[in-house]
Structure 1
Amino acid sequence: MSVSEGSVRGMLAVNLRQARLERGLSISELSRRSKIGKATLSQLESGAGNPTIETVFSLSRVLEVPISDLLDARPAGELTVVRAAETEALSGEGVDLRPLQRIESGEAVIEVFDQRVRAGRRQDSLGHVGTEHTIVQAGRLGVRVEGREVELGPGDYVRFDAARPHSYTALDGDVRSVLLLQYRSDQRLHLPHPAPGPRSAP
């Protein structure tokens, strides 16, 4: 089955290889640093793998690049509409993330995600580049950052250094939230973008 460059797998395949080469890393060395098997990395670079949140965040941490340098979020336009049914989710142990938009303004880069934490599940992260902002829309969310825990309800907001180990837990049913990842523009590799693949018009 062919993989379009517009899919999460297709974009990750192109961008992962470019980021790895930019850092001067072999697949073996990237495997050692990220604790991801060489066969898995080879599959991801060929577009045949099945990336998870854990994998992408681990690669972001090791390569020291924003998530969008790996997933190639949509460029901004005068009017951008992202339909829920047309956006591929990146899933992990407890979370489904849908990349919506990357916003660049001056020295700031902000990635916007629709985030769902599944009922009774927890999503752990060892940390990654950037500052994390979460706004809860529905449900009750437990957030743990280096041993400190807070509970958030609808309308509540939390901000923390994403480089620190952290986790999200759905405390009462599914949790819907908006996740913003903020970076400095100098933290990006400024990778050349691949030719756009087939994509629905806004």
Structure 2
Amino acid sequence: MHASDGSIRGQLAANLRRARSGLGLSISELSRLSGIGKATLSQLESGAGNPTIETVFSLSRALRMPISDLLDASTAEPTVVRGADVEVLRGAGVDLRPLSRLETGESIVELYDQRVRAGRRQDSDGHVGIEHTSVQAGTLLVHLAGRTTRLEAGDYIRFDATAPHSYEAPDGEVRSVLLLQYRPDRAGATITPH
């Protein structure tokens, strides 16, 4: 697989190399910052790795950049995204379909179709941005700061995504819309290796 293809793997490979190089980080330094093994990072940069939600969120956190900076390619307007054509980014309990990235002078917003699998839980150690989730179908449990919030279809939650959090679908699949919002001063922040 080559980094120039339109797959998640290909986009991640090209964007990860560019971001790491732009920050002057070695693979070893990025491994330490992200908690991802050097061999895995090398595979991801070559387009041969199989990225998971956990991996992409760890890279976003370590590089202090929006997820879409790692996954998107520039496209011309208008853009139509067919759900069946979008490659799914899978995690322990969630399937994410990246749909769009929107930029304004005040923020960057990423739009995802999010499905939490029945009886599964997706944990996150936290990542940059503000997370907005609107439940479309099902019952979603959101675990955050030692509290659990139950959301039904039509409910919405917003929180600081830097805090550890998780989503859980106790009663069946949950369909939701996930928006990740980044302030320009937080997106692409400079990292000082330790």
Q: TM-score, normalised by structure 2?
A: 0.92
Cα distance change on mapping 1:133 and 1:39 into 2, 3 Å = same
Aligned-pair CA distance for 1:80: 2.3
* Offset of residue 73 of structure 1: 5.6
Structure 1 partner of 2:170: 171
| Amino acid paired to 2:82 | R
Deviation at 1:4, TM superposition (A): 4.8
Match of 1:44 in 2: 44
Gaps of 5+ in 2: 190-194
Q: 1:167 to 1:174 in 2, by over 3 A?
A: same
Question: Alpha-carbon deviation of 1:74?
Answer: 5.7
Identity %: 70
The equivalent of 1:68 in structure 2 is 68
For residues 65 and 59 of structure 2, what CA distance do their matches in structure 1 show? Answer: 8
1:8 maps to which residue?
8
3-state SS in 1 of match to 2:185: helix
Whether the aligned pair in 2 keeps the contact of 1:134 and 1:178 (CA below 8 Å) is: yes
Which secondary structure state, in structure 2, belongs to the residue aligned with residue 150 of structure 1?
Answer: strand
**Counterpart residue number, 2:25:** 25
CA contact (8 A) 2:3 2:46 kept: no
Aligned ranges 1:11-160 → 2 under 5 Å: 11-72=11-72, 75=75, 77=77, 79-160=78-159
Cα separation, 2, equivalents of 1:73 and 1:22: 17
Amino acid aligned to 2:22: E
The alpha-carbon deviation at position 53 of structure 1 amounts to 0.1
Equivalents in 2 of 1:170, 1:41: separation in Å? Answer: 31
1:137 and 1:74 map into 2 onto residues whose CA distance is 29
Describe the shift of the 1:148–1:36 C-alpha distance in structure 2 as closer, same or farther (beyond 3 A): same
Q: Is the 8 A contact 2:119 2:172 kept in 1?
A: yes
CA deviation map 1:123-149 (0-9, x unaligned): 000000100000000000000112121
Please name the residue that 2:186 is paired with: 187
| C-alpha contact 2:140 2:151 (8 A) present in aligned 1 | yes
* 8 A contact 2:121–2:166 mirrored in 1: yes
The aligned residue for residue 192 of structure 2 is none
- Per the TM alignment, residue 19 of structure 1 is displaced from its structure 2 partner at its CA by 1.0
Instruction: Give me the CA root mean square deviation.
Output: 1.6
Q: Is the 8 A contact 1:135 1:178 kept in 2?
A: yes
| Cα offset, 1:48, TM superposition | 0.1
CA distance in 2, matches of 1:136, 1:180: 12
Structure 1: gaps spanning 5 or more residues: 191-202
Count of aligned positions:
189
Please tell me the residue identity of whatever aligns with 1:49. G
Task: Measure, in 2, the Cα distance between the counterparts of 1:2 and 1:105.
Answer: 31
Output the amino acid matched with 2:181: Q
